[in-house]
Structure 1
Amino acid sequence: MKPHFLNHQAQTTPHPLAMEISHAEGSYIYDINNKPYLDFVAGVSACPLGHRHPKVVEAIKKQVDKYLHVMVYGEYIQKPAVELTTLLAKHLPSSLQSTYLTNSGTEAIEGALKLAKRTTGRSEIIAANKAYHGNTMGAMSVMGFEERKQAFRPLLPDVKFIDFNNEDHLNNITNKTACVILETIQGGAGFIEPKNGYLEKVRKQCDLVGALLILDEIQPGFGRTGKLFGFQHYNCIPDILVTGKGLGGGMPIGAFTASLELMTLLQDNPKLGHITTFGGHPVIAASALATLKEITETNLMPEVIEKEQLFRTLLVHPLITEIRGIGLMLAIITPSDEVTNNLILKCQDAGLILFWLLFEAKAVRISPPLTISNEEIEKGCTIILEILDQLHTSKNQSK
């Protein structure tokens, strides 16, 4: 399949990993030679219950036997979508009760930005340097990494950038600002957490000037940090919450959530303020509903913090300079991008899937399924340490 993959399926980089997949189950992905790979990435945080979780598969199959797509979003009452948005509301603050379902996280970002402009009548958007919110034109406009944007300019006008965790920059949020959009935990930058009550201070400044706060929980959401949403760690409730990835349980989904009062602004003046054909697709909503129930009705979230501590206890090595993040949203930081690249590629050869982060070249992503067992964590960490030992020995010999 590889020649067809490279010639006929458009690629995102010149050098894709190009592992040909046979099947996946639990914490493992298998190639066409039936070689198992322990998955420490979970589809870049998109498979919180691992691969083919029985309850997710059952929900999908049941819905397939009833109906697939029947109408564009928002016209017909379709039980999976209604039950999903109702359950989300149950687990969110009272100011976040109305959810618009989309096809992806980046589409949800687009909807959130539009809603902020529609609500405030303002155009200025404040985003963070080293932020990543998706790759469509609006989401790219609020990406704080010029190297990835330059070829596609002009983008949205009136976007300004501040440094995450820099309180001196908060005065840039003024009565001209429609919204501030931040990742609750910066992902592509290297899993950077807010410090010293930073998000609370952003919230306060937004309230002072009448700007909306959008928090992007596409990566940290749905149990990955040990709480259902990352913002629950930081005493900060957004005006608009954006989610995706893990909500779908392995199926494509995004969502943005706000108060009913705000969300009704997309219904009129103009009508169809935001529209999608396949958002809220019944099969995907059924998968998401089963995923959300499993995360909220089991001990998965409290176990996440215990598993984080196991990772931190095991992953001690001279070539690990730092472990960033929280819960099962962790990043190993190595001394160089060369060490990081070698570690990721050699671990794949050894049967362990790791991955890069977008902007921090020295970071190694560890974001396994929440369902991963302690034994699987120990197995994967043993592989990481063995590879690091090889790299350390080779580095010392070359001196």
Structure 2
Amino acid sequence: MSNRQLFLSHLAQTTDFPLLVEIERAEGIYMYSPEGKAYIDLISGIGVSNVGHCHPHVVKAAKDQIDKYMHLMVYGEYVQTPQVKLAEALVRTLPAPLTSVYLVNSGSEAIEGAMKLAKRFTGRPHIISCKDAYHGSSQGALSAGGNEFFKQNYRPLIPGHLHMPFNSLPALDLIDHQTAAVLVETVQGEAGVRIASPEYFAALRARCTEVGALLILDEIQVGFGRTGKFWAFEHYNIVPDILVSAKGMGGGMPIGAFISSKEIMDVLKDNPILGHITTFGGHPVSAAASLATIETIMSENLLAEVEAKADYFRSLLVHPKIINIRNKGLMMAVELESFELLKPVIDKAIELGVVTDWFLFCDNSMRIAPPLIITFDEIKKACNIILQALDSV
């Protein structure tokens, strides 16, 4: 049987129409089929490959760590160099009091840990998140998610979750003394790159502080340089109580984290002890890759050209079928009239060698979130293919 047949026969499927693109190797912004066909990965594996595929520094760090040790013990018991060095490096990117890092395996798990931490610290029952938010697919993360289509057939979900419109100042009145935390994406991703005003984030921070609710910022998609700042909240002059990261954090390896103050994080130590536990969280190979990812972003100064690259995309993607382009740095949504128009454009672009996608809650917009290492010449090449795809449908 071919790999495609094995894929369809034995791997659990998530739709009736998977892309079925077979990749043998990847490097930089390119992925290659077994036949050698090159594809530009314009979505970074959905926000993961911020430093590109198989960055040499990340690969070397992972290989070096494999030669030393892999899994030793559940998280939090042994002193492991990759974990402590990563935690130290993460804290250096953050303002006080975000000094305590809990390493996990994925974004969904980080969201779960952050919500548990908020409930445990405040003793309150309610989590408020936003309509059209996406925080993951586990039961708690799905409960916090804000799109009913993806939730309706999995109820009953976890009680105590409330939802408010994103970027709405009047809606902040919903936050009260029963609110353990407000969980917000700094930039809404699956809603199609929706951006809130600085006034909204200032008011949100003030309201949480006023009533004693914790502010959790989900930077699973937007962290690690995607918006032109290392963390997207840096654009808004606020500091969350809990920060959630994953995706681009690992340079291609699976890892996530929720980060808070020592005062808040320490409540997981008692009543009960082991308030949050994970076997593979902060796996040493993933932690080594994550540290190398931070080092790469900093040493190659990848944040410096994010805005200019985004502007170049905007200047080139001019077409009668494009209604609007929304972006925060290199997190972009190119809006067309409908999914019925967008889907054949995406299919044609893939055929021509550019992989893009749509958004879960905004299926008339094309996702563009390339590796930050993409060059201006590569941007021009990718945009020419997209324009060719637009012309063909």
- Shorter-chain TM-score category? over 0.9
**Aligned counterparts, 1:295-306, within 5 A:** 295-306=297-308
Determine whether 1:345 maps to 2:343: no
Question: What's 2:288 paired with?
Answer: 286
Residues 249-279 of structure 1: CA distance to partner in whole angstroms, max 9, x if unpaired?
0011110000011111111110110000000
Q: 1:103 aligns with which of 100, 105, 130?
A: 105
Q: 2:244 aligns with which of 242, 254, 273?
A: 242
Residues 256-312 of structure 1: CA distance to partner in whole angstroms, max 9, x if unpaired?
000011111111110110000000111000000000111123321011111011101
Equivalents in 2 of 1:61, 1:196: separation in Å? 42
Letter in 2 for 1:310: Y
Residues 3-57 of structure 1: CA distance to partner in whole angstroms, max 9, x if unpaired?
1101111011111101111111111001111100011011101011111100001
Paired residues of 2:306 and 2:330 also in contact (CA < 8 A): yes
Q: SS where residue 113 of structure 2 aligns? A: helix
Letter in 1 for 2:156: P
Q: 2:357 aligns with which of 351, 355, 358?
A: 355
Residues 84-127 of structure 1: CA distance to partner in whole angstroms, max 9, x if unpaired?
00011111011111010000000000000000000100011111
Question: What's 1:222 paired with?
Answer: 224
Determine whether 1:384 maps to 2:383: no
Question: What's 1:144 paired with?
Answer: 146
Paired residues of 2:190 and 2:360 also in contact (CA < 8 A): yes
Q: 1:256 aligns with which of 255, 258, 263?
A: 258
Question: What's 2:325 paired with?
Answer: 323
**Aligned counterparts, 1:153-302, within 5 A:** 153-302=155-304
Q: SS where residue 300 of structure 1 aligns? A: coil
Q: CA deviation at 1:390?
A: 2.1
Q: SS where residue 227 of structure 2 aligns? A: coil
Determine whether 1:16 maps to 2:18: yes
Equivalents in 2 of 1:342, 1:168: separation in Å? 40
Q: CA deviation at 1:211?
A: 0.4
Equivalents in 1 of 2:32, 2:300: separation in Å? 27
Q: CA deviation at 1:196?
A: 4.7
Q: SS where residue 265 of structure 2 aligns? A: helix
Q: CA deviation at 1:361?
A: 1.1
Q: SS where residue 16 of structure 1 aligns? A: coil
- TM-score normalised to structure 2 length: 0.98
Superposed CA RMSD in Å reads 0.8
Equivalents in 1 of 2:138, 2:298: separation in Å? 31
Q: SS where residue 362 of structure 1 aligns? A: strand
Q: SS where residue 302 of structure 1 aligns? A: coil
Equivalents in 1 of 2:300, 2:95: separation in Å? 21
Question: What's 2:5 paired with?
Answer: 3
Determine whether 1:47 maps to 2:11: no
Question: What's 1:373 paired with?
Answer: 375
Q: CA deviation at 1:381?
A: 0.2
Equivalents in 2 of 1:53, 1:368: separation in Å? 14
Equivalents in 2 of 1:256, 1:378: separation in Å? 37
Unaligned runs of 5+ in 2: none
Residues 164-207 of structure 1: CA distance to partner in whole angstroms, max 9, x if unpaired?
01111110000111110000000010100112521111111001
Determine whether 1:84 maps to 2:105: no
Letter in 2 for 1:167: L
Letter in 2 for 1:59: A
Paired residues of 2:43 and 2:370 also in contact (CA < 8 A): yes
Question: What's 2:366 paired with?
Answer: 364
Residues 232-254 of structure 1: CA distance to partner in whole angstroms, max 9, x if unpaired?
00112110000000000001111
Letter in 2 for 1:37: Y
- TM-score normalised to structure 1 length: 0.97
Determine whether 1:29 maps to 2:23: no
Equivalents in 2 of 1:302, 1:315: separation in Å? 22
Q: SS where residue 361 of structure 1 aligns? A: strand
Letter in 2 for 1:268: D
Paired residues of 2:26 and 2:53 also in contact (CA < 8 A): yes
Aligned length: 391
Equivalents in 1 of 2:102, 2:248: separation in Å? 16
Paired residues of 2:357 and 2:366 also in contact (CA < 8 A): yes
Q: SS where residue 86 of structure 1 aligns? A: helix
Residues 321-368 of structure 1: CA distance to partner in whole angstroms, max 9, x if unpaired?
111121110110001111111111110000111011111011110000
Determine whether 1:311 maps to 2:313: yes
Equivalents in 1 of 2:376, 2:120: separation in Å? 47
Q: 2:59 aligns with which of 57, 60, 63?
A: 57
